[in-house]
Structure 1
């Protein structure tokens, strides 16, 4: 496995959502606000064949302009990088500040993708935004063209709904097969695993809490048991006693959201950070 350049060089539902979003909207450690396009939606080979048979020509649907938050380690690079996808409540403190600071201290460039603001979306906690898969690949393209990024070493990382998108983006034979650029690895924090079959195109780490009543650990264990074995290795870590968003310090005071308990767990959080760092090091050949 090729090594990445300069790896680790440096060490009421709507009410609470609105309060959290407003609390952190102007409080960021991100180095730079950037603008990027989501990837164009390409027709599948099957759709192309059907269209050709009827004398039609299908075109890709242009991407959507998005906002992003870019954080870089000190130095010129090129550095390995992480595309980070937020949860159903939008970009919160854990996404915008905490994880970018942590990952950049490990030597990674971090691009947090805001899938909501330019679309006028407030939250998707009662559903999913399918286009977020193309947001992830648009961010990959953006980073791959940056001189300070090692384009061969970019991972995708998502939380909750962003974790679901991460699994969807890297599911073997899915959207990833239509994309010119590929991620190197994927990390999904507390996704709903019943939406995926578990066969992944890249090495994947899934992290869930044993007591999570929103993203059930059982569903992830079931998914792992039903995997065909095709594709890349997939690892599942289940943290005892932990609930949804166990890594997010803004939930030190537990919150009830959409009928589910959201709560920070320091022990599970610290263990997951160690697991993520080790996984990235292995995936990037460090």
Structure 2
């Protein structure tokens, strides 16, 4: 199995507004092959968070944005989700390959998808995780790869476990090629003032009404990431933290995960 390193406590120095401390285990795991012809396997690093108790617990895999492995996915969301009773594995796709953020050779490839399934397989093998109750959440770049590479997969070629549900934050909804019957439950959370991403998510509501779509009013791209506030995204989009939008998105996520990861 993949090694689990000693426990560590992460205290974010990147944002003053982060008051909580998250205790996690640093882990490494192989990413998954996509089909028999795919021979490339990488060792991927991440942080594993676990609620108090023996479990078994449902779990969530987190895929970061173009901003890379920041406190947004290394403590903010893990703190919230473990508080709800979920095991969380936050995947460091860029850092595992020597990059901090976009642009890099891995931001537009299937690497995110392979890493997500590797994380899923790792979690499914843990005795404290319920292997048939694992969801995936992605942000911006991570959301794009959920839409294009994970949602369309009804059964994995390898026969391995599949995700029970997916949540995509401010990604490109136009990346969803189809949504046939039997697709995993999917929720899109978009930001009203994100003029690059939000319009496609508005359109997807009529194309695929089974997809749950929420457009958060008065919010910009990366509204839930304090350290991204005031910066520009990969395509120049404005990013601005919004506490009320974050609270709304967290509540939507809580309800969605409770619905689809319940026994």
TM-score category of the 2 structures, normalised to the smaller one: 0.7 to 0.9
> Residue 52 of structure 2 aligns with which residue?
74
Choose between structure 1 and 2 for higher RCO, CA contacts under 8 A separated by at least 6 residues.
Answer: 1
Query: Residues 37 and 66 of structure 1 are in contact (CA less than 8 Å); yes or no, is this contact kept in structure 2?
Result: yes
- Output the TM-score relative to the length of structure 2: 0.84
Q: Report Cα offsets for 1:26-45 as digits up to 9, x if no partner.
A: x97241100011102314xx
For the pair 1:141 / 2:141, whether they are aligned, the reply is no
Kindly state the Cα deviation for residue 125 of structure 1 after the two structures are TM-superposed: 4.5
Say which of 29, 35, 48 aligns to 1:36: 29
Q: Runs in 1 of length 4+ with deviation above 3 angstroms?
A: 21-24, 174-177
How many angstroms apart in 2 are the aligned matches of 1:36 and 1:85? 15
Query: Residues 197 and 223 of structure 1 are in contact (CA less than 8 Å); yes or no, is this contact kept in structure 2?
Result: no
Query: Secondary structure, in 3 states, of the residue corresponding to 1:97?
Result: helix
How many angstroms apart in 1 are the aligned matches of 2:214 and 2:178? 14
Query: Secondary structure, in 3 states, of the residue corresponding to 2:238?
Result: strand
Kindly state the Cα deviation for residue 176 of structure 1 after the two structures are TM-superposed: 4.9
Query: Residues 76 and 148 of structure 1 are in contact (CA less than 8 Å); yes or no, is this contact kept in structure 2?
Result: yes
The change in CA–CA distance for 1:242 and 1:72 in structure 2 (over 3 A counts) is same
Matched pairs, number:
242
For the pair 1:178 / 2:157, whether they are aligned, the reply is yes
Say which of 140, 159, 170 aligns to 1:190: 170
Q: What is the aligned-residue RMSD (CA, Å)? A: 2.3
Say which of 97, 103, 112 aligns to 1:132: 112
How many angstroms apart in 2 are the aligned matches of 1:284 and 1:100? 17
Query: Secondary structure, in 3 states, of the residue corresponding to 1:202?
Result: coil
| Structure 1: runs of 5 or more not aligned | 1-20, 44-58
Kindly state the Cα deviation for residue 84 of structure 1 after the two structures are TM-superposed: 0.4
Counting helix residues as a fraction of each chain, which structure ranks higher?
A: 1
Kindly state the Cα deviation for residue 198 of structure 1 after the two structures are TM-superposed: 4.9
Say which of 221, 226, 231 aligns to 1:244: 221
How many angstroms apart in 2 are the aligned matches of 1:22 and 1:197? 40
- Output the TM-score relative to the length of structure 1: 0.78
Query: Residues 69 and 100 of structure 2 are in contact (CA less than 8 Å); yes or no, is this contact kept in structure 1?
Result: no
The structure with the larger Rg is 1
